[in-house]
Amino acid sequence: DIVMTQSPDSLAASLGERATINCKSSQSVLYGSNNKNYLAWYQQKPGQPPKLLIYWASTRESGVPDRFSGSGSGTDFTLTISSLQAEDVAVYYCQQYFIIPLTFGGGTKVEIK
Amino acid sequence: QVQLQQSGPGLVKPSQTLSLTCAISGDSVSSKSAAWNWIRQSPSRGLEWLGRTSYRSKWYNDYAVSVKSRITINPDTSKNLFSLQLISVTPEDTAVYYCTRSVGYDDYIGYYYSAMDVWGQGTTVTVSS
């Protein structure tokens, strides 16, 4: 199985500040034949299911604010919130869909300082 | 707009069978451009993918090794839904269960799936006597 490791476990930043979450996979999720990274980011607020933010490592889902961006390739990925807003308080998960079993990171809790 | 509506009991006794259904609106369970997944979430195990069903000229099922001997995911084309059955449950199966959709693609490299773009509302299942 591909193990997904996120860091940090939690972070607190001020409103308007940048927040960065890291995700590392135990093996590459880059498929050479189509040059796509099979990596997604989700946001989960209390009492709600996870919501897809980013797929193919850097493609923003429709309707997701452009302050959310994804980057990285191979085994190392980053989710950046460029200007933290109050509504961004949530837990964020990375997930690989390169091979089954599909696996998730442990989550990063984002709070306002 | 695709929506998934989950239903099923919230309490199951140990050794019995957990059964949930996920009704699809706005898409088809037999679409060749989607896979239909079951995920669960618990404090001890985090988000855990359990398995999926998909149709590409015939039905395919993939299951997580951790539950492979106990799980069945079945499509129901007449009702446009898919179901989860997990037999011989224990308190370790207590979790919030979600159904999801993954969009499928068929191009020059073959068939592959993307991330999970639609989620059901979740069902809290407690295994307890």
Residue A83 distance to chain B (closest CA, Å): 24
- Taking the C-alpha atoms of residue B128 and residue A30, their distance in angstroms, rounded to an integer, is 42
Segments in chain B below pLDDT 70:
none
Decide if B49 and A40 are in contact by the 8 Å CB cutoff.
Answer: no
Segments in chain A below pLDDT 70:
none
Q: Which of B46, B49, B19 is nearest to A97 (CA)?
A: B49
Decide if A55 and B114 are in contact by the 8 Å CB cutoff.
Answer: yes
Average pLDDT across chain A, whole number? 97
Name the strands in the sheet holding A76-81, side by side, starting at the edge strand that comes first in the sequence: A4-7, A19-25, A76-81, A68-73
pLDDT reported for residue B43: 96
* Span A62-84, pLDDT tens digits: 999 999 999 999 999 999 999 99
Judging contacts by C-beta atoms under 8 Å, the chain B residues touching residue A48 are: 122
Residue A34 distance to chain B (closest CA, Å): 7
- Taking the C-alpha atoms of residue B82 and residue A91, their distance in angstroms, rounded to an integer, is 28
CA angle B37, B38, B41 (to 5 degrees): 135
pLDDT reported for residue B111: 83
